[in-house]
Amino acid sequence: MRARRENLFHLLEPLLPHVEHPARYLDHEWGSCQDQEGPFHLCMVYADVYEVGQPNLGVSILYERVNAEEGMSCERCYLPWKDMAGLMRAHGVPLLSLEGAAPLASFDAIGFTLAHELIATNVLETLDLAGIALTAEERDEDDPIVLAGGPSAWNCEPVAAVFDAVLLGDGEESIVEVCACIRDARAEGVPRAELLRRLARAPGTYVPSLYEVVVDETTTRWGRAVPRAGEGAPEVVLKRCIPDLSETPAVAQRIVPYMGIVQDRLSLEVLRGCARGCRFCQAGMTYRPVRERPAEQVVSCGVEGLLASGHNEVSLTSLSTTDHSQCARILNEMNGRLEGRGIRISIPSQRLDSFGVEMAAAVAGGKRGGLTFAPEAGSQRLRDVINKNVTEEDLERAARNAFEQGWRRMKLYFMMGLPTETDEDVVGIARLAERVLEIGREVVGRGAKSGVSVSISVAVLVPKAFTPFQWEGQLAPDEVRRRQQLLLSEVRDRAIRVSYHGASVSLVEGALSKMGRAGFGLVRAAWERGARFDAWTSEFSIDVWERAAEACGLDLVDVACERFPLTARLPWEHTSPGVSTGYLQREWRRAAEGVTTPDCTRASCTGCGVCPTLGVQNKIQEVRA
């Protein structure tokens, strides 16, 4: 029997004086939807604390879309911090939605955002706090339908048992269709099993319970999912793709929070997709094709959004904002419209060339803080392997241009553990940073008063599904640590600062990225042993994950570092973003040869298969030379 839908804030309120940041749990923020009449109720869940989840653009887009639909309402929920979770369990208070303080178990459907692999244990914690069964097969007829989507849905197999359905690709249209399907089926009184079969007929909707895992000589040890006989589920679920971004709202974030959040600004999506083809980048493969918003829509919606929200900063978001063909026009017009209002425009990603620096200058105004570039690798050979398509000369020109225009701090992003990487490539990171620092000193002058500094941030490659490196194994943690120490020993100038991702965190992320459905045992065992907020450095415990792996008969290093045969059927192949396996295999071979592939928005079609498979195409506002 579904929980009764009622406002239970009176149960939560007495707990607020006893927890850290009680504003996390207060409703009625400015701009939120307060008219939560049904008859259909969806709750969007970001399984992390409020200040991390509130600015998530994907949640905001779907929240606005569902609430705009007549007869549907959408509320939000964030995972309470451990202090509040403990008090809620002690006082018998179930997890509540933010807007209406209604029990999550009383909603028709619940939608989780799978932002990254390490959110998995938080998903289980959310369901447990809500009093909802952890797996789809354990739920009763009247329990909420538990949905998921987001960047990490492309290998959701380790948590597939949790979800009744997973929405792949762009969600603006599919979320409404799925909600309508659930609403209509419930109104007709059809059994839950039939409701799920109906959902599987909705394009872009993957229903895990309709598939079974087969392990044979064609697969890895994790097997592959195939439709159960007689269920009518498709062999491959293709993602949903909106062909024209201009037909969707440019501003989805209208809610002004009560407290400081991690990205306290107005986010404006200027384009979706990227065709640069970096071989390590999952988003670059799964968000294709490139679809740009017209400049006039970006500018007008941005100005309106700022007036409505009161933010003093607007962020032009995308995978590569300065790739927008009308980027200069957008910035010039926005600067003109916002002049004198004290509003800052920010771009989260710059191209590693002079144009990127010029665009950064256009948004910085008189302020020159730090500027970030991503060479990704320390040598040209390795940049060709990963298809970065930038040279050391590009970086030097961009750095010189930036220092000449007033910047004093430069941040460089790199990756470690890339295929074919050698010690020489690692040392090359230090040499490249030194060269950038030297350029800064040539331009600005030497000495501490010049303020010139360079910081290096080094991530560990985690091979992801639907990238050319999906068959590769991850670098073993001991070798990661050795290479990190090698890099530290090669950086001799105090004006160069080095930070890097922990090898143990990357290990768990890599294991979850490789596994099939058998990985759910690992996730559940880690959660049962106390794993929570694993993306937080202060909360992550490799000991917990190692004990969980041991209980499941697994070795994390063995799982994460395993290389798959190029011909093997992989655990995630029953879903597809439209990029063909043949294209990914070809890119893997080109990587091994150090041969680059051009951006199809600047050259001819490279044959990834997305456009013909999905019936879409790149939508560029201006023809590029």
Nearest CA to 308 out of 261, 370, 256, 240 is that of 256
3-class SS letters over 358-407 = HHHHHHHCCCCCEEEEEEECCCHHHHHHCCCCCCHHHHHHHHHHHHHCCC
Query: 429-447 b/e with 16+ CB inside 10 Å = b?
Result: bbebbbebbbbbbebbeee
Per-residue pLDDT reduced to its tens digit, 248-274:
888 777 888 989 999 888 999 999 999
pLDDT tens digits for range 197-211: 999 999 999 999 999
Rounded Cα distance between 476 and 563, Å, is: 12
Contact in structure between 364 and 403 (CB atoms under 8 Å): no
As a whole number, the mean pLDDT across the chain is 94
- According to DSSP, the residues that pair with 545 across neighbouring strands are none
DSSP 8-state class, residue 464: -
Q: Is pLDDT at 366 greater than 60 in this prediction?
A: no
β-sheet bridge partners, residue 367: none
Measure the CA angle with vertex 393, ends 391 and 396; round to 5°: 120
Q: What is the pLDDT of residue 36?
A: 63
Give yes or no for a contact between 498 and 458, defined as CB atoms under 8 angstroms apart. Answer: yes
Residue 64 has pLDDT above 80, yes or no: yes
Residue 137 has pLDDT above 70, yes or no: yes
Q: What is the mean pLDDT of residues 453-475?
A: 97
pLDDT for res 546: 98
- Please, which pLDDT band fits residue 573 given cuts at 50, 70 and 90? very high
Mean pLDDT of the region 181-193: 97
Rounded to the nearest 5°, which phi and psi values hold at 343? -105, 130
Per-residue pLDDT, averaged over 429-452, amounts to 91
**Average pLDDT, integer, range 393-414:** 91
Residues in the chain, how many? 625
CATH number of 368-501: 3.30.750.200
pLDDT in tens, 25-63: 998 898 888 766 778 999 999 999 999 999 999 999 999
Mean pLDDT of the 95-119 span: 97
Compute the distance between CA of residue 91 and CA of residue 95 in angstroms, rounded to an integer.
Answer: 12
User: Strand ranges (DSSP E) for 394-536?
Assistant: 409-416, 453-460, 496-500
CATH 3.30.750.200 residue ranges for the chain: 368-501
Query: In this structure, which amino acid lies at residue 67?
Result: N
Confidence of residue 586 (pLDDT cuts 50, 70, 90): very high
Q: Find out whether 510 and 502 touch, Cβ atoms under 8 Å.
A: no
H helix runs in 39-173, sequence order: 50-53, 57-67, 82-91, 120-130
The reported pTM is 0.96
pLDDT tens-place string over residues 225-251? 999 999 999 999 999 999 999 988 887
Q: What is the DSSP string of 547-593?
A: HHHHHTT--HHHHHTPPPPTTSBPTTTTEE-S--HHHHHHHHHHHHH
Q: Residue 354: its pLDDT value, please?
A: 62
What's the rounded Cα separation, in Å, for the pair 62 and 83?
29
Cβ count within 10 A of residue 1: 8
Give the sign of the dihedral formed by CA 210, CA 212, CA 217, CA 222: positive
Please report, as a single letter, which amino acid is at residue 14.
P
Alpha carbons 373 and 398: distance in angstroms, whole number: 9
Cα 150 from chain centre: 7
Q: What is the CATH number of domain 9-167+171-238?
A: 3.40.50.280
For the ranges 10-19, 354-363, 374-383, which has the lowest average pLDDT?
354-363
Q: Helix H segments across 249-391? A: 282-286, 295-309, 327-338, 354-364, 380-385
Question: Where in the chain do CATH 3.40.50.280 domains reside?
Answer: 9-167+171-238
For residue 86, pLDDT beyond 80: yes
What per-residue confidence (pLDDT) applies to 565? 97
Asked if residue 203 has a cis previous peptide bond (ω within 30° of 0), the answer is no
Helix, strand, coil share of the chain (percent; to 5): 40, 15, 45
Kindly state the average pLDDT of the residues 417-424.
98
